[in-house]
Amino acid sequence: MCDKKEASKRYTGKNILAPMVRIGTLPSRLLALKYGADLAYCEELIDFRFAECHRVENPILGTVDFLQDKDSRPMFQTCSEERDKVVLQIGTADAQRALQVAKLVENDVSGIDVNMGCPKEYSTKGGMGAALLRNPEKVKEILTTLVKGVSIPVTCKIRLLPKLEETIELVKLIESTGVVAIGVHGRLKEERPRHPVHSNMIKKIAETVSIPVIANGGSDDIIKQYKDIERFKQLTGASSVMIARSAQWNMSVFRKEGLLSTDDVVKDYLKYAIKYNNHFINCKFCIQEILRDKQESPMGKQLRSSSSLREICCIWGMEEEYDAAEKRRNELRVKLGLVDDKSLEPDAKRIKRSDIVEMNFQIKRCEYDLKKNKTPKTILYEYTLKEELKPPFYTTECRSTDRHFQSIVTVNGKKYKTTSWERNKKLAEQSAAIVCLRTLGIDDGRMAPIDRKVPSQSTTRPKFVKLSSTT
Ligand code: FNR
């Protein structure tokens, strides 16, 4: 168990980068810390997936990677630069599994947080996220198991319940488990970011408990730049402030000296992305969030059509930095005997690898209307017509061991594929088309369930509604 008094100090008077799916990866966290954040939470990691990971030290990047299998991208990646400042957030509904995950990362992170605020159905239907707010017994079990079982500080992040008294009751229960601090997102489960944050409710909570309260929910309305953080702190009476959206849009919100321009922030972000060879799709997403309403600017359009990290670096004139980092990594690979140097000399291998955009996902038939004329393949075909490009060209491989298929689609000289294998050729081609569309930032026609009220016993299939490609 950790020294609670000492640990609580680490959550007092601090400015913290909030957990954010897809945003909270290594380059963003390092950027927040560079600009002045005291702690940085990673994106939420779901316990049963994370429990399958292996810890691997990556000598090329100098990182610690948690991998599901040896060829996959890390589910969580960290490094010594953030060792004392990174907090791992878990999505869980099971105390023992949460402990298993916490033990796995205990020596590589500075704290563990349990997400009790996620309102999304994928989280709540498994009893995780905001579902925990209505399950105090489970909350107690998870938090006490973690507090007893790991040597680093444990915290949790909640939303408000409709009545102040019930929120206070929950918060007192949480305090009694021995957590060192509590994050409070000042909105109800049903409220969206556009709804005003209930600073007064956070204040009531802060007055009730003796552990530090980390106020969250002030982006946009209240916090736009560094000097606003203090105002939110005063409004909520909290010890610390946690920032999500304002940081996602401009990480220099943590900078005492004030905001930096979008270009400066993107360039600083890219330095970390290059250093840690961050995944291209993740970089693209994070930079699109920074560009925000500049998506239609010349740089925004170039970003949309980029298909590798190097191409993104070119947009901001950083290709030399990228090439130098790649060269250093390749030399290190050779030095460590991880690759034969002949394969690197003609550059061919490198080009071949970065030439194909790969995504790791499996197409779900129910999410796409594959019978009508708005399939990903048709959307892609229409796109090539509109842009006056050659029609998409598909090549498909069949794996002899299980007769599964994988396709590569070529559009405008670039190749796109998934890492997964499909049961038939048609699905494999649709998957490749989806990778291409998503990379180009075009809506791939994916649908999502709208009928949240389908009774659990019902055999009726939920209806589906069209989603934008970024959701
Ligand atoms: C979030 N949020 C969130 N919260 C959490 O506990 N775990 C998570 O993984 C995520 N993921 C996430 C992704 C994105 C893109 C956004 C915008 C938000 C919620 C977030 O941490 C925060 O509670 C809210 O955004 C409110 O804080 P701000 O944005 O007002 O500072």
**Does ligand 1 come within 6 angstroms of the Cβ of 236?**
no
DSSP 8-state class, residue 74: P
How far, in Å, is the centroid of ligand 1 from the Cα of 51?
Answer: 23
Kindly report, residue by residue over 50-102, the tens digit of the pLDDT: 999 999 999 999 999 999 887 788 999 999 999 999 999 999 999 999 999 99
Pick from 151-165, 271-285, 347-361: least confident? 347-361
Q: List Cβ neighbours of 300 (8 Å cut-off, separation of 6 or more).
A: 288, 291, 294
**Does ligand 1 come within 6 angstroms of the Cβ of 157?**
yes
Of all protein residues, the one whose alpha carbon is nearest to atom 16 of ligand 1 is: 20
How far, in Å, is the centroid of ligand 1 from the Cα of 18?
Answer: 6
Query: Using 50, 70 and 90 to split pLDDT, how confident is the model at 356?
Result: confident
Residues 17, 40 contacting (CB under 8 angstroms):
yes
Residue 343, pLDDT score:
53
Q: Which of 15, 17, 20 to mutate to test ligand 1, by most ligand atoms within 8 A of the CB atom?
A: 20
Of all protein residues, the one whose alpha carbon is nearest to atom 14 of ligand 1 is: 20
Mean pLDDT of 289-306: 94
Q: Is the pLDDT of residue 352 over 50?
A: no
Query: Using 50, 70 and 90 to split pLDDT, how confident is the model at 348?
Result: very low
Residues 253, 225 contacting (CB under 8 angstroms):
yes
DSSP 8-state class, residue 52: T
Q: Which of 185, 214, 241, 470 to mutate to test ligand 1, by most ligand atoms within 8 A of the CB atom?
A: 185
Exposure b/e, 230-259, CB count within 10 A at least 16 = b = eebbebbbbbbbbbbbbbbbbbbbbbeeeb
Helix (H, G, I), strand (E, B) or coil at 471: coil
Pick from 79-88, 185-194, 207-216, 441-450: least confident? 441-450
Kindly report, residue by residue over 462-471, the tens digit of the pLDDT: 344 444 333 2
Kindly report, residue by residue over 424-455, the tens digit of the pLDDT: 888 999 999 999 998 888 888 887 654 333 33
**Does ligand 1 come within 6 angstroms of the Cβ of 113?**
no
Q: 53, 118, 283, 313: which is the annotated catalytic residue? A: 118
Residue 365, pLDDT score:
78
User: Can you tell me which atom of ligand 1 is nearest the CA of 217?
Assistant: 30
How far, in Å, is the centroid of ligand 1 from the Cα of 245?
Answer: 7
Cα distance between residue 228 and residue 440, in whole Å = 36
User: Can you tell me which atom of ligand 1 is nearest the CA of 216?
Assistant: 27
Mean pLDDT of 393-402: 82
Of all protein residues, the one whose alpha carbon is nearest to atom 8 of ligand 1 is: 20
Ordered structural domains, the chain, with CATH: 4-258 (3.20.20.70), 266-325 (no CATH), 346-449 (3.30.160.20)
Within a 10 A sphere around the Cβ of 104, how many other Cβ atoms? 17
Kindly report, residue by residue over 230-285, the tens digit of the pLDDT: 999 999 999 999 999 999 999 999 999 999 999 999 999 999 999 999 999 999 99
Cα distance between residue 178 and residue 211, in whole Å = 9
Question: Is 118 among the residues known to form the active site?
Answer: yes
Cα distance between residue 371 and residue 351, in whole Å = 37
Find where tokens 């994070």 sit. Answer: 286
User: Can you tell me which atom of ligand 1 is nearest the CA of 220?
Assistant: 30
